[in-house]
Amino acid sequence: MPELELRLLGSPEILRDGVPAPAPRGRKAWAVLAYLALADRPVPRARLAELAFAGAEDPLGALRWTLAQLRRALGAPEALAGDPLALGLPPGTRIDVHAIAAHDAGPALARGELLEGVEPDAGPVFEAWLLVERRRLAGACESLLHDAAHAALAAGRPLEGAGLASRALAHNEFDENAHELLVRCLAASGDLAAAQEHATACEVLFRRELGRAPDPRVARAMEAREGDGLDAVGDRAAALGQLDAGRAALDAGAVEPGLACLRHACVEARAVGDPALLARVLATLGVALVHSVRGRDEEGAAVLHEALTLAEEHGERDVAAKVCRELGYIEVQAGRGVSAGRWLMRASELVQLDEERAAVHAVRGMALSDRAHYEPAIRLLESSIAIARGCGDERRAAWSFAILGRAHIVRGELEAAQEALEGSLGLVRTTGWIAFQPFPESLRAEVALRRGDPAHASELLDHAWPLGCRLGDPCWEAVAARSWGLLHAAAGEQVAALARLREAAIRAVRFADPYVWIHAYCLDALAGVEIEAGAPEAPATVALLGALAARADMREFVVRAALHRAALGDDAALASARLLAETIENPDLHARLAVAA
């Protein structure tokens, strides 16, 4: 049988033995094929007929005719059969959207948007599904190209990296991360004039279209690499001494001196000529850039990619596991789920030490929870807690308890959420981890509010809010402001609620490299109160939430955005929400859908 390949990204086509086959007849054929290819399970014929052919005199007959045309184009007479319908394509069939979802795709597959140029005119519910999938896959392609650009830069091919970063920008021209990466690649290639030219063009674009300048990190990407200008003696002991001094300074909260020591350690390690030592120092610097300095995730990622290349070349498996986990964490924060999954699976395969295994499980649980895969997320987080406590890593356990509590809140499991968050806060107090306290404290306040205890919620927020502001962490500030807004809303204080919730949404993104899930969490709460108050800003908030959620594949928020649209009077939105929620294991969400008008 001929080798079969389906290309659904960009202008769709079917290839048999590498040769394009005649396109299937019928303007809805590609839409039907894409829907079946992207479905998580076989699809009942009646549902697909209703979705795609609702306006036809005989929807089931129209579906049968379209399936026949698709079988002919595919050269697969046994495919697309049964009820419910499954693809049933020959073994070995390659489908580009499947490869991307399985983290098994090269940048060549990022060819364009889903069914580019095809507008099936299949009714509002199907069109809503198609829009979500186009945004989701655009985000996946963007993250694929972003990762490939970093890999090329780390491998010493900066011009290739620049080309890949340029392609990522074609998917989202306002992605400051991609602009920064492009400037970094051009500068690394030695073409500082081109790097400056792009940084200037980026500023012109942002001022013209967005009314603001891009983040300074775009221009800062032209700066020289770490440690330039420092004298190195090539002494291994000096490198290790600077590494220890950098760690100690960071632990004491002295970020800039700590980074300076780590950069000096990198210079010394390069001069020593010990790749294993350099990998370890680069990994430490990369982690510090990601966790200690706002707006340095792209720089941190570039350092981590170089560390990974060296670690893999020289058998430093523990370093490679840590780096893969950190790269996965960066991608989770940025809402690049496909890339996050790939890095975290690599980390899971490499990990050997229990402390690192607890960390990998924690970040994987966070990633899955963000994308509404709650049951496996909860299992991983519970595993992280058990492993972390077993090896004495109480801070990791506190972190995982907090993310576990968050998942239970979203699922409406308030007693379980309270237990997890109390566990987190107990460990925070025991370890003195004040820098983390506002997060579980603000979530615990939301639980208290939803369990009918606004006085306790207010007491918790009286501590969490000023502490979060003092620490200057936008995530902690945003979550605390969100809980304050909900507290005001519950008391009927709509003006105060709207002010707090708008502040939460702004604070969530006030620095570069925001945590996308937190931003969506704040927008969802804001949209609900705006709709209830009849605020004219509500449609714009809902549209922003929907676009953000779809691109980052945050399935829960995609459904919530559709529910908000239904509340605003969109007649097709409720049906879209129910369709999109089918594979989400969230009893609270399904209860909302059941009572929605």
The per-residue pLDDT for range 266-320, each reduced to its tens digit, is: 999 999 999 999 999 999 999 999 988 777 899 999 999 999 999 999 999 999 9
d(CA 287, CA 303): 9
pLDDT at position 252: 83
Residue type, 227: G
d(CA 80, CA 177): 41
Lowest average pLDDT, out of 246-260, 357-371, 375-389, 419-433, goes to 246-260
Q: State both tokens at 36.
A: 């079946």
Residues 215 and 253 sit within 8 Å (Cβ to Cβ): no
pLDDT at position 511: 84
User: Which domains does the chain possess?
Assistant: 4-122 (1.10.10.10), 136-220 (1.25.40), 353-436 (1.25.40.10), 450-597 (1.25.40.10)
CA distances from 509 to 221, 287, 382, 442, 474 (A): 20, 21, 30, 18, 7
Q: Rounded to 5 degrees, what are φ and ψ at 464?
A: -65, -40
pLDDT higher than 70, residue 444: yes
Q: What is the band of 597 on the pLDDT scale with cuts at 50, 70, 90?
A: low
pLDDT at position 421: 98
Of 176, 182, 183, 169, which Cα lies nearest the Cα of 141?
Answer: 169
pLDDT at position 293: 72
pLDDT at position 315: 94
d(CA 557, CA 537): 18
Q: Which sign, positive or negative, has the C-alpha torsion 188, 254, 320, 342?
A: negative
pLDDT higher than 70, residue 492: yes
d(CA 344, CA 337): 10
The mean pLDDT value for 326-346 works out to 95
d(CA 228, CA 241): 19
d(CA 421, CA 415): 10
pLDDT at position 228: 55
Residue type, 219: A
d(CA 305, CA 115): 33
Residues 577 and 596 sit within 8 Å (Cβ to Cβ): yes
Q: What percent of the chain has pLDDT over 90?
A: 88
Q: What is the band of 224 on the pLDDT scale with cuts at 50, 70, 90?
A: low
d(CA 491, CA 493): 6
Residue pointed to by tokens 């400037």? 183
pLDDT by residue (tens digit) across 201-216?
A: 999 999 999 999 999 9
pLDDT by residue (tens digit) across 120-147?
A: 888 899 999 999 999 999 999 999 999 9
pLDDT by residue (tens digit) across 51-62?
A: 999 888 999 999
Cis peptide before 124, with omega less than 30 degrees from 0? Answer: no
Lowest average pLDDT, out of 47-56, 192-201, 366-375, goes to 47-56
Please provide the DSSP assignment of 41-98 as one string: S-B-HHHHHHHHHTTSSSHHHHHHHHHHHHHHHHT-TTSSBTTTBB--PPTT-EEHHH
> In 10 A of CB 54, how many CB atoms?
14
Long-range contacts of 285-288 (CB under 8 A, 24+ apart): 285/226, 285/246, 285/259, 286/323, 286/326, 287/322, 287/326, 288/246, 288/250, 288/255, 288/258, 288/259, 288/262
pLDDT by residue (tens digit) across 94-123?
A: 999 999 887 777 899 998 899 999 988 888
d(CA 33, CA 225): 48
The mean pLDDT value for 371-389 works out to 98
d(CA 335, CA 459): 32
Residues 375 and 407 sit within 8 Å (Cβ to Cβ): no
The C-alpha angle with vertex 239 and arms to 234 and 240, in degrees rounded to 5, equals: 140
Of 42, 4, 37, 43, which Cα lies nearest the Cα of 20?
Answer: 4
Of 486, 508, 507, which Cα lies nearest the Cα of 497?
Answer: 486
d(CA 475, CA 486): 17
Q: What is the CA radius of gyration of the chain?
A: 25
SS3 state at 580: helix
pLDDT at position 26: 82
d(CA 173, CA 179): 8
pLDDT higher than 60, residue 227: no
Please provide the DSSP assignment of 309-375 as one string: HHHHHTT-HHHHHHHHHHHHHHHHHHT-HHHHHHHHHHHHHH--SHHHHHHHHHHHHHHHHHTT-HH
Q: What percent of the chain has pLDDT over 70?
A: 98
pLDDT at position 234: 76
Q: State the chain's mean pLDDT as an integer.
A: 94
The mean pLDDT value for 522-549 works out to 98
pLDDT at position 312: 95
